[in-house]
Amino acid sequence: MQLLRRAQKLEPEALGQIHDLYYMRIYRYVAFRVQDQHTAEDLTSEIFLRLLTALHDRQGPQHTLQGWLYGAAANVVKEFYRRQVRFMTAPLAENMAENGRTLDDQYDLILLRQNLVAVLQDLTDEQQNVLALRFGYELPIREVARLLGKSEGAVKMLQARAIGSLSHRLVALGVEA
Amino acid sequence: MKVLQESILVDCLDRLEAGATVAEILAKYPDQRDELMPFLTTAVALSASIPPPAVAQTEARQRFLAEAAALRRQRGKNFGAGRLTRLLRALVLGQVVG
């Protein structure tokens, strides 16, 4: 709350803290929805600029940043898809070099993620959104349920169906997860 | 591939989130092992982070703070202009009334 109050005054330290706290989570949420690294980076920047504009116009978050940022991220992703006449995907894993993995492990992981990216788009919008919130934004089930206005049981079921659907598609593609 | 009961899938995800390993969960459901294996490894793959290049985050932070500085200056100007306008109004009103 204190951080939000300071952000409303556009204090640089508070804004820097907010950027550090939320950038990765917002980026990962967006990356789950748009599947292209550069687009995800651009859209994440746009979300933070919207936060600034809202704070400047005194229309920003009043109580919680997390919920506001999720709402802004969901809107930015929707607008992005509206703007897209044709959706192009690019390998998400281009820069996914992971420390401490063997080259084979890295290759397997990259291959798996590329295939995941390809089949994610086959899921329903609702399923994609739940996965993005859970694995991108890293929200607990309770928070996802609150944001989407669903019961925790319903979110768990949606998540299980989405992952089940993904794994079926990966198996059909011959990808060993 | 057999269709698994959704309650089993939900339970597996709960266990995974609670910190159980894939092997531990598969041991709990030995009869469904073959069907559960791709499900669980997909869930684990989803959990793997997708870090953007560090430079993207750093550059984004710099742009964000530069924009904030510009808005702060604008806010300061607006505030100053507003105060000046109010002061002039008060002076004019004082002249008229006086």
User: Which residue bears the tokens 């005054």?
Assistant: A9
pLDDT value, residue A115: 76
Question: Measured between CB atoms, does A135 come within 8 Å of chain B?
Answer: yes
Q: Do residues A90 and A36 make contact, with C-beta atoms less than 8 angstroms apart? A: yes
Is the pLDDT at A162 greater than 90? The verdict is yes
Q: A98: pLDDT confidence band, cut at 50, 70 and 90?
A: very low
Tokens of B3: 């269709």
Q: How much is the mean pLDDT over chain B?
A: 84
Question: Measured between CB atoms, does A123 come within 8 Å of chain B?
Answer: no
CB atoms under 10 Å from CB of A161, counted, come to 18
Q: Given phi > 0 = left and psi -120 to 50 = alpha, else beta, which region is A100? A: left
pLDDT value, residue A104: 56
Residue B82 φ then ψ, to 5°: -65, -40
What percent of chain A is predicted at pLDDT more than 70? 81
B42 contacts A28? CB cut-off 8 A = no
Minimal CA separation from A29 to chain B, in Å: 10
DSSP string, A83-135: H-SS-----GGGG---TT--HHHHHHHHHHHHHHHHHHTTS-HHHHHHHIIII
Q: What is the CA radius of gyration of chain A?
A: 18
CA atoms of B52 and A31, how far apart (whole Å):
9
Mean pLDDT for A151-158 is: 96
Question: Measured between CB atoms, does B57 come within 8 Å of chain A?
Answer: yes
pLDDT value, residue B86: 75
Q: Given phi > 0 = left and psi -120 to 50 = alpha, else beta, which region is A136? A: alpha
From chain A, the residues in CB contact with B45 under 8 A are: 109, 112-113, 116, 177
What ipTM was predicted for this assembly?
Answer: 0.71
pLDDT value, residue B18: 92
Question: Measured between CB atoms, does A119 come within 8 Å of chain B?
Answer: no
Is the pLDDT at B98 greater than 90? The verdict is no
Question: Measured between CB atoms, does B64 come within 8 Å of chain A?
Answer: yes
Q: B10: pLDDT confidence band, cut at 50, 70 and 90?
A: very high
Minimal CA separation from B92 to chain A, in Å: 30
Is the pLDDT at A129 greater than 70? The verdict is yes
User: Which residue bears the tokens 């399923």?
Assistant: A127
Minimal CA separation from A95 to chain B, in Å: 7
**Angle B22-A134-A128 (CA atoms, 0-180°, nearest 5)?**
105
Residue A40 Cα to chain centre, angstroms: 9
Better-predicted residue by pLDDT, B16 or B47: B16
Of B13, B56, B65, the CB nearest to A15: B65
A159 contacts B13? CB cut-off 8 A = yes
Q: Which of B27, B61, B19, B67 is nearest to B44 (CA)?
A: B19
Q: Which of B1, B73, B71 is nearest to B32 (CA)?
A: B1
Better-predicted residue by pLDDT, A93 or A82: A82
Is the pLDDT at A92 greater than 50? The verdict is no
B contact test, residue of A15, A35, A44, A113 with most B CBs within 10 A: A15
